[in-house]
Chain A
Amino acid sequence: MYRYDSIDKAIVEDRAQEFRGQVSRRLTGEITEDQFKQMRLMNGLYLQLHAYMLRVAIPYGSLNSRQLRRLAHIARTFDKGYGHFTTRQNMQFHWIKLAQAPDILDSLAEVDLHAIQTSGNCIRNVTADPYAGATAEEVDDPRVWSEVLRQWSTLHPEFSFLPRKFKFAVTAAEHDRAAIRVHDIGLILHRNDEGELGFEVAVGGGQGRTPYLAPTIRQHLPAGSLLSYSQAILRVYNRHGRRDNKFKARIKILVAALGAEEFARQVEAEWARIVAEQPDADLPAIELARIRGAFTPMNFETLPPRSAAFDAAKAGDRAFARFVRNNVKVHKQAGYAVVEISLKAIGATPGDISAEQMDAVADLGERYSLDDIRVTHEQNVVLPHVKLDDVPALYAALEAAGLASANIGLISDIIACPGLDYCALANARAIPIAQSIAQHFADQDRAELIGELKIKISGCINACGHHHVGHIGILGVDKKGEEFYQLSLGGSGAEDASLASILGPALPANRVPEAVDQIVERYLALRQGEERFLDTFRRVGMAPFKEAVYAEAH
């Protein structure tokens, strides 16, 4: 956890104060809703179908127990008793009253949280690997660099009115848990052959109506040059990105139009000039070291790699063993584990969490995970540093809180956007579809037999539910006032990133679970060895699945 100093605190407080002034001008009628819109959109406040929605930034998905308890407090006091984790590791409250929004921001500021740049055409909340600092895979801690980016991008003088929104994602691990290739800038920390720390820089990925995987424009950027190089990318984009058509304004369109090579050439030329004329474009080493040092040190105990209590519980309790198989992951430190908490209980709304559950997770994080709690882009929660000895007790507590679903990565661990009920853009509901699929596959043995299968559902082509990178992607479409769902197969947002292809004509809502079942049955019939659904699909192609879903209709 990065600990704010007085400067970080002052900036967040000043923002809350600024917003209070803006809201009061709106409430007194000094400014119109239209004029206010630009201000509230700089602050994560959207006007939705039923109420205002406030999106709170959770920088790189990292929270401590105090912050999570505060989110619970806000859910209880100002909302309907729950919050919603988004695919960008943020939390949304969907039932906010405008007059109370300033009080919420003040309350958030007290625990170093804010809603700065959670909307608008600016640099949005930076997302990162939720296993940062816990996985043995990583060459460095991506949170340090994410925090560097957070500070630099906050109220950036030149880049706060871009052609369109702009999203960074950072990982330092081989296994991509941050969907790097579908971000405006994806950063992969690595060491080159000389052992120097640097970033592979991928630019121009994104979903929405025109999905692209980000091409790499630089194999190795020295880590210390992150800000000057980002400045060069953003400047090229700010000056040359399209502004005539909102749907062609993301950087992916510019990169695709110029070609990755020409785009890279322009960035490199701009970067060379920035470096020559702006000696302070990058942070000095001492400030990088300060930021690194401001993260709470993790005082891991020296433990044996195996735990008798853990092994005994696994042998004696089938439900616990299932939880371990699916939700407990390897930690870099012997005797510790990464524990994922699924927010995808069968029949639940993906990403929703009640105030009571937030408090429970906060308590458990404080007690068992060195006060470190993470949010994943797959809308689950992670306790990154749990002693193996403590996992059985943690599991029991999760069970009591209704948070012990053992389905991480399985077919019922579905990503869904808020959909028609909560979003002004959506064409169709997403949550009820997710619920009906999860219910259809409620049998846990069958779910484990099927193995890793990522279903991602978006209620419109803006693709907030990541359907382009779902192993099975589902897109809600409006056909003459009726909600239909278009299935696509073969996408991945992980290190083997790919875009899904459309299966066939859109289906009515009540056909969707059955169609997914037909796809799954065909996969199980075709699967060779340990193949995941995605592997089988890549080997055999679309035809067998198309036939499975549409054959009887002909």
Chain B
Amino acid sequence: MPKLIRLKDGEAFEAQDLFADVADEDAIPAGPVILSLTRFQAEGDALIGAGQAVGVRIEAGESVEDLAYDLPRLALVALVFPKNTDGRAFSSASLLRQRLHYAGEVRAVGDVLRERALFMMRCGFDSFVPTDGSTPAEWAATAERYRHVYQPAQDGRTPAFAERL
């Protein structure tokens, strides 16, 4: 089972992943699941109605806006990095937090490297399934490399211009 790193109140720790990541061709198991957007749109209502915890996997080319009305019912949103150089999920995470006011878990999945920790955390990701075997301690260390940041973002860090006031 891939490792899940969770971030809470500035602390990174390893957590048990209770969710089954369900491919479109697979049967939906009991318990918490993560579905593709298409599958969620087809079957999500029934599952949530039956009390199952459901998260949605958003591919890099899909729009988080399509989830706008479903977000309060979702257990998590997983944003896919198809390659570690594909930065679309950074915009998706920012929009989930800023525009759609989603307060639940935003998980980084796909090609997830600890070198991206700072960027991911700043855009509002709070859980990660790293592909490079990195540990929570390494993850936290990467995110803390910079004492200051220039931009306001979703992690609530005080940007340089506000520090200067």
Contact = CB atoms under 8 A, between A and B. Distances in A.
B56 to A, nearest CB: 18
Contacts, number: 97
A552 interface: no
Contacts of A151: 150, 160
Interface stretch (B1-9, B32-40, B87-95): B87-95
Given A155-B118, A157-B153, A280-B152, A14 B90 contact: no
B123 A157 contact: yes
A5 B146 CA distance: 15
Interface residues of A, number: 39
Contacts of A287: 161, 164
B150 A161 contact: no
Given A155-B149, A238-B90, A290 B119 contact: no
B151 interface: yes
Interface string A5-18: 10110110011011
Contacts of A155: 118-119, 146, 149-150
Contacts of B163: 7
B85 A17 contact: no
Given A7-B163, A286-B165, A273 B85 contact: no
A161 B147 contact: no
Nearest to B123: A157
A154 interface: yes
B122 interface: yes
* A interface SS class: helix
A77 to B, nearest CB: 27
B150 A238 contact: no
Residue of A7, A11, A162 with highest tally of chain B CB at under 10 A = A7
Contacts of A286: 165
Given A10-B147, A38-B115, A161 B98 contact: no
A121 interface: yes
A38 B118 contact: no
A159 B87 contact: yes
Interface of A: 5, 7-8, 10-11, 14-15, 17-18, 22, 35, 38-39, 121, 151-152, 154-162, 235, 238-239, 243, 273, 277-278, 280-281, 283-284, 286-287, 290
Given A157-B149, A160-B119, 11 more contacts: A8-B160, A10-B148, A11-B150, A14-B147, A151-B150, A157-B123, A157-B151, A157-B154, A161-B84, A161-B86, A161-B90
Interface of B: 60, 84-88, 90-91, 94, 98-99, 113, 115-116, 118-119, 122-123, 132, 145-154, 159-165
15 contacts: A7-B163, A11-B150, A14-B148, A17-B145, A18-B146, A38-B113, A152-B150, A157-B119, A157-B123, A157-B151, A158-B94, A160-B119, A161-B85, A238-B91, A281-B152
